[in-house]
Structure 1
Amino acid sequence: MRMTAMVNLRLAHKLRISTAVLMLFVLMGSLAAYWKIRQASELSVDLSTRQLPAMLAMRDLRLHAVESSTALKSYLLFGVDPAMAARYRGQFDRAQQEGLTSVQAIESARSSLARNVDMTRLDAMLSEYHIYEEKQKTVAQMAFGQGSDSTGKAFDLLQGETAQHYDRLSSLMTTVLDQQVAASGHSLEETVHLSHLEAIYMWLATFAGGLLGLLLSEVTIRRIVRSIVMVADRAQSIAEGDLMSEALSLDSNDEVTGLARSVNQMQQNLREMIGTMGEIAATVNQDALELTRSAADSSRRTKEQSLQTQQAAAAMQEMSISIAEVSRHAQNSAANARQAAATAREGGSIVDQMLVSMQSIADSVRNTADTVQRLGRESEQIIRIVNVIEEIAQKTNLLALNAAIEAARAGEQGRGFAVVAGEVRRLAESTRNATSEIAQMIQGIQGHTRGAVQAMETGTATVSEGVETTRRAGESLARIIQASDQVDSMIAQIATAATQQAEAARQSSENVDVINRLGEESAAAIPAMNTIVHSVESGAQRLQQHIGKFRIEESRAILRPGLSVHPGPQPVPAYGD
């Protein structure tokens, strides 16, 4: 029953019980040793604080008795010299005082001496010392007198009766000291004996506790080691890939049993986890193949997109160059229109002069003829300029149409550019209509100028006819100036529109370049994605190889049915290959 209870205890409790038994025996030995140590300590304290001071006091008492007697004898023999007399007298007084101190010390240690010394002898010794002290005082009074008779009597008393008392005192002191020394020796022997007993008790308690603790520890260690070996064998089997062993079963309830349960649970969890990981690895392998195919398709589409964006960028650059050329021609046309307007204003000034100064009508008519002829030539030049503007408008319309077509191909990204192309086309159409009107007006002007030339060639019939002709010429010049201003304004609008169109074309070209660059970056990232896919595939293969080292069930495969390890993903072609 007790062994069953011991088996069911936890490992920490078993170790605590073994340690507690060992500590109990050590404590018992320590208590016994402590009791003997206390007895030895009490003896040592009594010996050092009572007996030894009493022995020293008796020794000092004998010395003081001898010193006082020697001081009196020296005083009697050498007291003639005052200095020597004072010195010996001081020694006597000091010996007397210290003797009283020693007597008081012996009296205070009387209770301690009562256990070892015959108190009758001690009392006789103290009584004899008091008598001896009184005799010395009598000798001192006689010696310190002034007469030689008193000195002689004092010396006789010191050598006679006082010396006899000293002999009896010395004999009693010797007897008492011998008794005290014998008692002290016995105390020392008892102290040594107690020390030996203390060591014996300590060794016995330590040996018994160690032996019992060793037995308990051996039993506990055997059980623990046996359980740990079983758990270690099972852990080694799991490490070698065997997950099919039966669960461990131990007959105790300690921490090792808890460890065995944890190993059983770990084996079960590993069995389930390895099976799940096998299925996941096969799925990852299949997904890697799909990802490889998707990467190949993405690379092909990216390559096609890059080619299309490159073509669009080239077209945008060509359109930008054409628009810049249109803008340059528009600026030249504006300069020519301004020059024509200046020429028309000059003709108007001439007509005004003809109206003001009729005296020089003939000269004015000739000048007017010349001016009208020059105006006809310049009108022909304006016709050429208008034709150039009309041709530019037609080209601009054609370019706008092509840009609209390219914008339609670009889809959502070319919508803004299509709007700009439509505006440019409308401006080109307006320019063409305006140039047609200008051409018609200039043709009318040329007809008028030809009539004026014919009229001037036939001569001036009357001044009024000349004035009328001059007036009509002034009106024609005014219309020419107005038409020239309109042409100048229209050409300026064409130049502004061409500039805006060039800026829009430049921005569109930059956007196409950005799209092309993004496509190139996407294509450049495809090899890295290919590497990642290959790494995932390799990892799945290694995982399946490691999973294959474990045995879960005889009839259960690690991989899902229908899935197999593919040799590896095909490399995705890099951009530009």
Structure 2
Amino acid sequence: MIKAKTGKPEGSRSRSQIIALFIALIVFIMLLFANFAYLNTQATYDKQYIGHAGELRVLSQRIAKNATEAAAGKAAAFKLLSDARNDFAQRWGYLKQGDPATGLPPAPSAVRPEMRAVQLDWERLLKNTDAILSSEQTVLSLHQVAATLAETVPQLQVEYEKVVETLLQRGAPAAQVAMAQRQSLLAERILGAVNTVLSGDENSQQAADAFGRDAARFGQVLNGMLQGNPSLKVSQVEDRDARARLIEISELFEFVSGSVDEILETSPELFKVRESATSIFTLSQTLLEEASHLAGGFENLAGGRNTDTIGGYVLGLLALMSIILIGLVMVRETNRQLRETAEKNERNQNAIMRLLDEIEDLADGDLTVTASVTEDFTGTIADSINYSVDQLRDLVATINLTAGQVAAAVQETQATAMHLAQASEHQAQQIAEASTAINDMAQSIDQVSANAAESSAVAERSVEIANKGNEVVHNTIHGMDNIREQIQDTAKRIKRLGESSQEIGDIVSLIDDIADQTNILALNAAIQASMAGDAGRGFAVVADEVQRLAERSSAATRQIETLVRAIQTDTNEAVISMEQTTTEVVRGARLAQDAGVALEEIEGVSKTLAALIQSISNAAQQQTSSAGQISLTMNVIQQITTQTSSGSTATAESIGNLAKMASQLRRSVSGFTLPAAKAEVADKV
């Protein structure tokens, strides 16, 4: 194939220009993004700088406000003052040293003068703030004492007014009344001095001294009114009600007197706190101005970066120009490639027409055609066509050769398949006869199995009957044992009855003896009564009655004796009969036991017989199952043989169809024209 060489230097030059412009474009874009990233980062930093500076302004005023309130004794102000101080220190640290959390660097050197001014004011402000925070407990304690005094002193005044009223009502001396009134005024002056000390103005020191003197004076006068004090010209109050009021005032004044030393000791520290609060207020104004200047410096830095923004726009313009130049070069290169493509297409069209003319006879089955291989792009196609034609020649020759061989093999295979089909039919007949015989044998085995099963059922029934007979014998033996025990028990009771009747006989003999003695006594009594004459006549009647009673008792005793003897005779006969019955029961139990042993032997033999019959039945059932399985297997073999016969017949038919297809295949390639050598080989086959 001839390769186009025109336009190659021009194309290489265009590609070099495009690559150079792309490199320049990438450089400009990278610089543009770097410039914008730098400006964005600096703008973020400027916002943070300005935000921190603005917060410093707010915090300076918050510190001043909280310091004033803390000095005035507000407990919450100390916490707010500490938070404001810490917040100011943190933000000032961000400006001086940067913020690692956000990546903020320290403030630039351009605002160093403003930073130095803020630093000086902040150090003095921080010192005064720490002084106030360190005196928190003192200030709060002092104000707590003052608050308590503010509640106690008015109570002192009220009590003293009641004392004055009491003294006036009792007609006390005018000097005592005047002294009590001065005490009320002195209490009010003490409260005013405490408030002046807490206010922290220029008179605080004098107020503290006056507070100490007034409190001491109040206590001395109070003690003088209770106990008397000639040096102060204070007489003792004698009225009971007034003294009770003074004692209550004394108890209230104990807190005031106890607070004097504390107020006097802590007042200097309170004065320092007041001075620190005043200094903080003054410094906060200066710090507010310095922080405003610092914020203005940061804003000026942000405005000075406009030149960097212009540089970014210039880089963007250069990148846009690079894109335009790349587009122009690519358009020019595309037009050049279109011209070269049109010329190449025309050359390719001519080569295609030439190749079509050469292979036109191939469509008619002429395999002797050979295409010309040139340097055009169709040269490779022509070479491939020639290779395909050679392969097609070999294929047609092989088809002719194979078709002949298949036809010969098909004839032999068809004969073999027909013989195999006949053998399969004969085998199917033999298998059908064997299957019939096996079915007959299976029916016989089924009959044997049924008879064995019936015999097994009869044997099992015999075993059950023997079991029941054995149980009946055992029950009979048990019943006879119970009868024997009952008879023996009855015999024992009859013996005891005989013994009881013997005892009755003895008692009757005793009664008979008593009757004889009574009769003799009655006879003697009658003799004695007759000897007594008329005096013993009544006694003779009694003796006659006793004699008659003795005679009746003797007659009854003889009758009872006769009955007891009859009972003893019957009892002895009953005992003898019971013993004979017991002997017969024992003999019957032995016979029943012998019958039970015989039934157990019958049961054992029946079980053995049932087991043997069951084994025969199981064997017969197994043979029946095996015969059925063999019958099923023979049926399957018969089906397989039938299928084999059908398959052999179908195979013979398929082989015949294959012979026809081989002939059709040979006829289908007969239209191709082969070279002389390959045509002779096909004809020989």
Measured against the shorter chain, the TM-score band is: 0.3 to 0.5
Q: Could you state the TM-score of these two structures normalised by the residue count of structure 2? A: 0.34
| Structure having the higher Rg | 2
Q: Could you state the TM-score of these two structures normalised by the residue count of structure 1? A: 0.39
